Every structure is written in structure tokens, then in C-alpha cells.
């Protein structure tokens, strides 16, 4: 059954100066997304190609514009409750602000000022260059970034996309202040821009505001830059590098035509069949059966007017590297001659489900519309492209596969250091029904939160377990169980389960946290009667077979080894163990090599038996469904869960303050300072949410003082979690090792001021607005709603408690936040972790 993507009701208007205006009003939720897309990116940098000037300019426009001073932009957005950011890619720079509908006028004021009338203060030029230099260094410490650079630099010989968006350090250093201003004047012009608004607004009213802000901006002039493109690739290309990673990362890719070519939909379907999900052919054959890969996927990437890539990406141990490459080639060679019809139907369903999920949030809808305009100048391009996908046949895929010839193949390998080189997208407006909560005979608590806006559903189970249920000898157990749990059941093999789910465009997964194990499922509403019984099988009767567990252990071990090379991960791993000791929240979620080695099927089965009991399980279903039908299905699906007594975690240990220096041979240094935080039901938890926002926001003291004024950090902020009886509130910063002492001094100074003064009265309403808008945004998608409800139920709160948060934050006072800050930060010293490069270069 093909489900058509809805025809958009959005409208397009082009101002006389060339600025495109897309308006998509929707009053189903009191939120808006305002996005300004500028059609310029790293490929448009002309003589500055490879310098990253597009990305640099994106940073600099946040320094003030129009009538807004350096801090006024952030304060205005915060006061209006906005959440803002920007990104730069190959062919676009996008600025967006999401928030409450009441803030739209302010959001437009800010976007117009920063994008078209930025101050670009010369006094900030070198300071921001230092920030980006550290960002470049962080990228060089990141294996994913390195692998991406290796692929694009090898696959493309002259194409502008072979240059990293952030730029090469030596070219970035050469950018002058005049270069920056000239690039803005030349590229940030209205005929190269699109303003897209989606959400709760009156088009007639907002058009007047738009005209007042944007209509007088003069149209640009000058020719478009000459963008280098590749000549025809006439032979295979190879690239290899090494990095501090535990596994080899392999990518086999082929050049494919640009978006718009009739074979592109067929190649997208082929990529989904081969590598999308656990029932995909490559996953089943190469990972599960041959056990040659830890992870494997396939993808197809295409843009308008330029070549794209069809690729298979995989991770494996170095000794299996060449066998893996051979197996991938063997699978792809056999693919066109195999039976494809059933897999084609599954792939179409998967892609349709993914596109429908974009409609569940206003931000997703705005992005879909703006992207459609950017690529095709057609707001309904997603709809027409899905129709093209639905028309794909096996014959189309076989024809499209002829593009994947040896002459356009590229192979890249990122090996561990020391490894020898190889030998060879209009939601329906309906009234939202009230939630219902009920308890089964076995003690399982279930909440139904129907919302018929979009035909999708989300199911979330929260099981009382998590970090508090582990010991040093079982560290990583919850993470491993979460990985193995949704793979197969006693009644369905891994292939059968994955194939059934993915044929419906559905997905199931699990994760572990501090207080619980979480199992989630998403899918389309018509499949409710199929999906709920499957979810029940996964929850009640997982197979937990030894072979699958061993594969997941290998993947978890690789993740562990990689995390031990990441400065921020190392900082928080040590912070938690220093604060909570060797039990509960002090145990690393990934475990360690010793504990992972000892875990087996018996360990996981015993853990499942202890925790997966009715009184330990809370479940929430959100989305478009019939409550009566859902209640009947859930009752039958979860009835096999045993009853008995609820499991309760032991009391957490909180250790005395201490300091630790952790040597790590990286280009950056990390500071992490942690304090015992709130329990999940602590009266101060909402006040600490305000403190966290103030400490992490771009208008807050940590960002403005440490990053902007002093240029001491690329990353700085705060994070927290709430546990069953205590929690963690932590501050962190990534900085230059040479500046570590000054950075620590400033960080401690800001924390001390926060502990004594809380949030300044003049900033309090701005922080409140930001928290309120974040709360509204989090309550849009069914997956987020179900997650909130299930976790709240687990702690004894009502299923709709998350809907009460708006009222709580509207009434919280500066004195309450000041009291919480003083209690958190003034009564004891923190645990302090410094992650630094070794002082001895040979260490």
C-alpha cells in the first residue's frame, strides 16, 4: 500500500529584490520554525576555495547586526524563547530559530539583522579565528571526520566538494578581514536566499513584517563563481590513512548521476535493500552470517547539477579487512540477478515512513520545504520523488546498477595506527484526545496518549534497571542487553523480525540509561495490530542467542576503545567514577574490557529475568491510534511478563571531592567539574534545569565570557542527569592545553558566581523563555512524548506530567533558582578532571 506524501498548502512569493518567501501556516501547536537559507557554501568560495570562509562567516554574523549589539542577538532570541543555530555545507548556509509563535517577530528581526546587516566587528576577527582553529583541531581528532575527508578527497579529483567545509588550516589562516566582508557582500544577497516559515502565524500579518524587514535589501550583482567539477573518472581510485581507532573503516563507493536522473530513485531503493536496517542483505549476509563486519550499511547520495555517490560503509577488525572487501564485491555482483520484488516493497515502505516522520515537527516541515525549493524549486518535490520511488521496478534497479562499474569505483580504508597496508516530508488538524493510564494484572503500567495529527505511532517501554543495577564485574551489562534485546525473539529469527519490521517501514531499538532500560518502536498507524505483538515478543521473549551477543560485544568493545580516545568522553568517564565510586552511577555505561569479556548469554538472561517483570515496566503509546484497539492489543502482548515484587536500586555512594589528571595524546584539553545533583523527584530539579540552560546558552555567562570575550574554549557548558536518589550536575570545557590554567580559573570563577548569585534578574525572563520553548518543542513528536510519559510513570508521576512543565516553569522564581544554585555549588568542592596531553612528548 503506497501512502502518498501530503500535498503542501505552503505558498511561495518572490520579492522584487529576488528573496524567496515560503509560508506554511499551521496552528496545531503554538510553535514556529523560521529558517533563512542562503545559497552559498564551501563550493562557492572561488579564489578562497578550501579556506572555509563560508563557515567562518557563519560564525561571525552572530557577533551583532543591524540595531543589535554583540550580545543583543542572543538575548533577544532567548527572551523570545527561541532555540537558534546555523550550519554550513557544500552548497548552503542555513540559519534557523525555532520557538513559540509569540516570538516570530523577534526571530525575523534577528535573522534579517544578522544575515543581511551583520556588523562583522574587526575586533572579533582574530578571536573567532582562534575558536575555529580549535574546531579544526577537534575535527582532526575525530575518526568520523577523518574518514569523511578521506572518502571525498579520494573520490573527487577536482570537484569543489573534495575540500572540507570547515577549511584547511593553512588556507583558513590566510583569510583576511577584507576577504570576509567581500564574501558577505558578494554572496549574502536576497536573490540567493530563501526565507521559510512554518507554524502558528497569520500569513497576512507576517507578510507586512517581512516586507518591512527584507524588501529594501538591494539585489546583488556579479557573476556566479566557477565551481570546479570532476572530469569523467576513467579508473578505480584508492585512498588509505591510519588513525587512533580500534577497527578498520572501509568505504566502497561509485560515482552516480545527479539528482533528477531517472535512475536515482532506483539507486536509492537499491541502497535501502542492501544496507538499511538489520534485515538488509549486507547486514544479514556479511555481519550476521559471515561475521566479517561489526557494522555495515549502504547509502546513496545525490545533489542537483552534480555527481553523487553510491556507497557501502563498514567497520571490521583489521585482519578481516580484505575478506570483507571481497565479500561486499561478491554481494553487489550477485545483487542485480537476485529476486528483488519483496525487498523493493520493504524499501519503499521504509523510505515513506522516514519521510512521514519529518511532518511530525514544525522544524521538520520547514526544512523539508526549504530543501525542496533549494534542490528543485518545487515545494512538492518530496511528494513527487516518493511517487518516483513507488514506481521503481526490479528492471529499473537492474538498469541503474549498470552505473556501478569498476572505472568509477573508489575504495578508502581508515586503519588503526600500526596496521600494515592491504595487499591488494500538511498534518491533519484534529482535537487531541485525553491520555489514559491503566495497570495490567501483572503490574505493568501503560499510558495511551493518542494524537491523530500524522499517521505514525511510537511505543516506549521503560524498565527499572540501568547503571544502578550493575556492579564492577557486570559493567556494560545494560548496554549489551539493550543491543541484543531487539535482534530476535524465541518465535522469530533475527532475519524474520528485521524483515517484518522493515517491510512496514518500522524500527525497533533499545538503549540503557542511568535509571532504566528503554525499548522503543516506531511505525505507521495502519500497522498497529502487527507492531504491538512484535514489541511484546521483544520485551517478553527475546532470543538472546549467544552468537548475536558475541557480535554485539565486539561492537561494544570497539565503541569502548574509541571512547577512550575522545577527550570529553574520557573526562566524564573519570568524573563519574571519582564522584560515585565503583558502583551505580560511577560504573561506565560501556563497561571495560574485563567486564565485557565475562558477560554471556546467562548474564543477560538473568538480568532480563530479574528486571523485566510487570512492576518494573512502564509503557507509553503515542500517536495516531484507536485507544480501545490499542488497549486490547497491549494487554495481550504484555500479559506474558511475570509479576512479583518490584526491583529497587541500592542507595548511591557519593565520594568526597578529589582531582585527577588524565593523560591523553590529543590536540585539545578538557576540563570537567562535577557536583552531586538532584534525584528524579527532588524539589529543586526544575530550578537546576534553569541553571543548566543559563550555563549552556550562547547568551549565558560561560559562553560570553570564556568563549567570546577571552577566546579560551570552543566548547563550554553544563550537563546533568537525575538519578533515583541523587544525580550529577557538571560543567565542561574543551580548550587549548597551553591555556588550561587560565581557562580553569575563569571556569571556577563563573561557577562561584553562579553559586552565590544564581541567574541575574535581568536575564531570568530570557532563560525562562528558552526553557519554555524547549519544553514546547519537545512535546511535538510522538517518540518524544512516549519517552517522557514512560519515564515519568517509572518514577511514579502521571503520564501527562510533561504537559505540566510549562506551568511549573512559568511560575518558578529567581529566588528558587538562587537557592538551588547555592545548595548545589556552595556546600562542597567539585570533583575535577583534567584531560591533558602528556607532558613528555614520548609518553
pLDDT of residue 713: 85
Which DSSP symbol is given to 674? E
Mean pLDDT lowest among 218-232, 311-325, 368-382, 443-457: 218-232
Is 659-836 in the same CATH topology as 11-214?
yes
Each residue of 387-405: pLDDT tens digit?
Answer: 999 999 999 999 999 999 9
pTM: 0.89
Is 662's pLDDT higher than 80? yes
In CATH terms, the fold of domain 11-214 is Cytochrome Bc1 Complex; Chain A, domain 1 (3.30.830)
d(CA 519, CA 538): 9
pLDDT confidence tier of residue 427, bands split at 50, 70 and 90: very low
Is 187's pLDDT higher than 90? yes
Residue range 364-371: average pLDDT?
96
Report yes or no: 489 and 538 within 8 Å, Cβ to Cβ. yes
Would you say domain 237-416 falls under CATH 1.10.3720.10? Answer: no
Query: Quick one: CA torsion of 234, 235, 240, 246, rounded to 10 degrees?
Result: 110
d(CA 718, CA 742): 19
pLDDT of residue 432: 62
Which DSSP symbol is given to 842? T
* CATH number for the segment(s) 436-638: 3.30.830.10
Q: To which H or E segment does residue 517 belong? A: strand 516-524
Each residue of 14-73: pLDDT tens digit?
Answer: 999 999 999 999 998 999 999 999 999 999 999 999 999 999 999 999 999 999 988 899
Report yes or no: 70 and 63 within 8 Å, Cβ to Cβ. yes
Using DSSP's 3-state secondary structure scheme, residue 697 falls into coil
Report yes or no: 69 and 96 within 8 Å, Cβ to Cβ. no
d(CA 276, CA 287): 13
Residue range 667-681: average pLDDT?
94
d(CA 93, CA 42): 9
Each residue of 242-279: pLDDT tens digit?
Answer: 999 999 999 999 999 999 999 999 999 999 999 998 89
Question: Domain locations in the chain?
Answer: 11-214, 237-416, 436-638, 659-836
Q: In what order do the strands lie in the sheet with 831-836?
A: 659-663, 831-836, 669-677, 727-735, 713-722
- What's the CATH class of domain 659-836? alpha beta
Contacts of 342 (CB under 8 A, 6+ apart): 503
d(CA 4, CA 520): 26
Each residue of 503-541: pLDDT tens digit?
Answer: 999 999 999 999 999 999 999 999 999 999 999 999 999
Residue range 719-737: average pLDDT?
95
Which DSSP symbol is given to 706? I
Report yes or no: 268 and 389 within 8 Å, Cβ to Cβ. yes
Report yes or no: 193 and 20 within 8 Å, Cβ to Cβ. yes
Cell, residue 46 = 572561488
Amino acid at each position: 500500500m503506497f501512502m502518498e506524501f501530503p500535498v503542501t498548502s505552503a505558498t511561495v512569493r518572490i520579492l522584487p529584490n529576488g528573496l524567496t518567501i515560503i509560508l506554511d501556516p499551521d496552528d496545531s501547536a503554538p510553535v514556529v520554525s523560521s529558517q533563512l537559507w542562503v545559497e552559498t557554501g564551501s563550493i562557492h568560495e572561488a579564489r578562497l576555495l578550501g579556506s572555509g570562509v563560508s563557515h567562518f562567516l557563519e560564525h561571525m554574523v552572530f557577533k551583532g547586526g543591524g540595531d543589535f549589539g554583540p550580545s543583543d542577538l542572543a538575548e533577544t532570541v532567548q527572551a523570545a524563547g527561541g532555540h537558534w543555530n546555523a550550519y554550513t555545507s557544500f552548497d548552503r548556509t542555513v540559519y534557523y530559530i525555532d520557538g513559540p509563535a509569540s516570538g516570530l517577530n523577534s526571530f525575523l528581526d534577528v535573522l534579517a539583522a544578522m544575515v543581511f546587516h551583520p556588523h562583522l566587528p574587526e575586533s572579533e576577527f582574530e578571536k573567532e579565528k582562534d575558536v575555529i582553529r580549535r574546531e579544526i583541531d577537534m575535527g582532526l581528532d575525530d575518526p568520523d571526520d577523518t574518514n569523511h575527508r578521506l572518502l571525498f578527497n579520494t573520490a573527487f579529483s577536482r570537484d569543489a566538494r573534495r575540500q572540507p567545509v570547515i577549511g584547511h588550516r593553512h588556507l583558513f589562516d590566510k583569510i583576511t578581514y577584507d576577504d570576509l566582508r567581500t564574501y558577505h557582500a558578494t554572496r549574502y544577497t536576497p536573490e540567493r536566499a530563501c526565507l521559510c516559515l512554518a507554524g502558528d502565524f497569520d500569513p497576512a500579518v507576517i507578510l507586512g513584517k517581512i516586507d518591512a524587514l527584507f524588501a529594501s535589501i538591494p539585489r546583488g550583482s556579479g557573476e556566479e563563481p566557477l565551481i570546479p567539477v570532476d572530469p569523467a573518472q576513467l579508473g578505480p581510485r584508492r585512498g588509505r590513512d591510519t588513525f587512533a581507532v580500534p577497527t578498520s573503516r572501509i568505504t566502497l563507493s561509485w560515482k552516480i548521476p545527479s539528482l533528477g536522473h531517472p535512475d536515482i530513485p532506483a539507486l536509492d531503493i537499491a541502497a535501502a535493500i542492501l544496507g538499511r536496517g538489520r534485515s538488509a542483505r549486507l547486514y544479514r549476509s556479511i555481519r550476521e552470517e559471515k561475521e566479517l563486519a561489526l557494522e555495515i550499511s549502504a547509502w546513496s547520495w545525490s545533489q542537483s547539477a552534480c555527481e553523487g555517490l553510491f556507497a557501502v560503509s563498514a567497520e571490521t577488525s583489521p585482519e578481516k579487512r580484505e575478506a570483507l572487501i571481497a565479500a561486499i564485491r561478491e554481494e553487489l555482483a550477485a545483487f542485480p540477478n537476485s529476486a528483488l520484488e519483496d525487498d523493493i516493497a520493504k524499501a519503499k515502505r521504509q523510505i515513506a515512513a522516514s519521510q512521514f516522520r519529518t511532518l511530525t515537527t514544525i522544524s521538520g516541515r520547514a526544512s523539508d520545504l526549504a530543501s525542496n525549493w533549494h534542490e528543485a524549486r518545487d515545494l512538492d518535490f518530496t511528494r513527487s520523488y516518493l511517487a518516483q520511488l513507488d514506481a521503481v521496478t526490479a528492471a529499473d534497479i537492474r538498469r541503474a546498477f549498470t552505473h556501478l562499474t569498476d572505472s568509477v569505483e573508489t575504495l578508502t580504508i581508515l586503519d588503526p595506527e600500526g596496521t600494515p597496508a592491504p595487499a591488494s516530508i500538511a498534518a491533519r488538524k484534529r482535537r487531541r484526545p485525553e491520555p489514559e493510564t491503566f495497570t495490567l494484572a501483572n503490574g505493568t503500567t501503560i499510558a495511551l496518549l493518542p494524537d491523530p495529527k500524522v499517521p505514525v505511532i511510537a511505543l516506549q517501554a521503560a524498565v527499572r534497571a540501568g547503571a544502578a543495577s550493575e556492579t564492577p564485574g557486570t559493567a556494560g551489562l545494560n548496554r549489551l542487553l539493550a543491543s541484543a534485546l531487539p535482534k530476535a525473539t524465541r518465535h522469530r529469527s533475527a532475519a524474520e523480525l528485521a524483515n517484518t519490521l522493515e517491510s512496514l517501514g518500522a524500527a525497533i531499538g533499545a538503549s540503557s540509561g542511568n535509571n532504566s532500560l528503554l525499548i522503543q518502536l516506531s511505525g505507521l498507524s495502519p500497522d498497529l495490530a502487527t507492531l504491538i505483538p512484535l514489541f511484546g515478543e521483544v520485551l517478553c521473549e527475546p532470543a538472546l542467542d549467544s552468537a548475536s551477543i558475541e557480535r554485539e560485544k565486539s561492537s561494544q568493545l570497539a565503541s569502548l576503545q574509541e571512547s577512550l580516545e575522545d577527550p570529553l568522553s574520557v573526562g566524564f568517564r573519570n568524573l563519574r567514577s571519582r564522584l560515585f565510586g565503583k558502583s551505580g552511577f560511577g560504573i561506565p555505561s560501556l563497561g571495560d574490557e574485563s567486564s565485557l569479556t565475562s558477560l554471556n548469554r546467562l548474564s543477560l538472561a538473568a538480568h532480563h529475568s530479574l528486571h523485566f517483570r510487570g512492576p518494573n515496566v512502564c509503557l507509553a503509546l503515542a500517536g495516531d491510534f484507536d485507544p480501545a484497539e490499542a488497549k486490547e492489543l497491549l494487554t495481550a502482548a504484555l500479559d506474558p511478563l511475570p509479576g512479583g515484587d518490584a526491583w529497587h536500586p541500592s542507595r548511591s555512594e557519593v565520594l568526597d571531592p578529589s582531582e585527577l589528571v588524565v593523560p591523553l595524546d590529543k590536540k585539545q584539553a578538557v576540563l570537567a567539574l562535577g557536583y552531586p545533583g538532584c534525584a528524579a523527584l527532588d524539589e529543586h530539579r526544575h530550578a537546576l534545569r534553569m541553571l543548566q540552560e543559563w550555563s549552556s546558552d550562547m547568551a549565558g555567562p560561560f559562553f560570553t565570557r570564556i568563549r567570546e570575550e577571552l577566546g579560551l574554549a570552543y566548547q563550554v557548558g553544563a550537563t546533568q542527569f537525575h538519578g533515583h536518589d541523587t544525580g550529577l550536575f557538571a560543567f565542561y570545557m574543551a580548550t587549548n592545553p597551553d591555556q588550561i590554567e587560565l581557562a580553569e580559573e575563569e571556569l571556577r570563577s563563573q561557577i562561584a558566581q553562579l553559586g552565590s548569585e544564581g541567574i541575574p534578574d535581568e536575564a531570568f525572563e530570557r532563560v525562562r523563555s528558552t526553557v519554555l520553548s524547549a519544553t514546547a518543542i519537545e512535546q511535538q513528536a510522538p517518540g518524544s512524548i512516549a519517552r517522557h510519559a514512560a519515564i515519568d510513570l517509572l518514577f511514579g508521576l502521571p503520564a501527562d506530567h510533561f504537559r505540566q512543565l510549562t506551568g511549573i516553569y512559568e511560575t518558578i522564581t529567581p529566588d528558587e533558582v538562587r537557592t538551588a544554585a547555592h545548595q548545589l555549588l556552595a556546600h562542597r568542592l567539585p570533583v575535577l578532571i583534567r584531560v591533558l596531553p602528556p607532558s613528555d612528548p614520548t609518553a
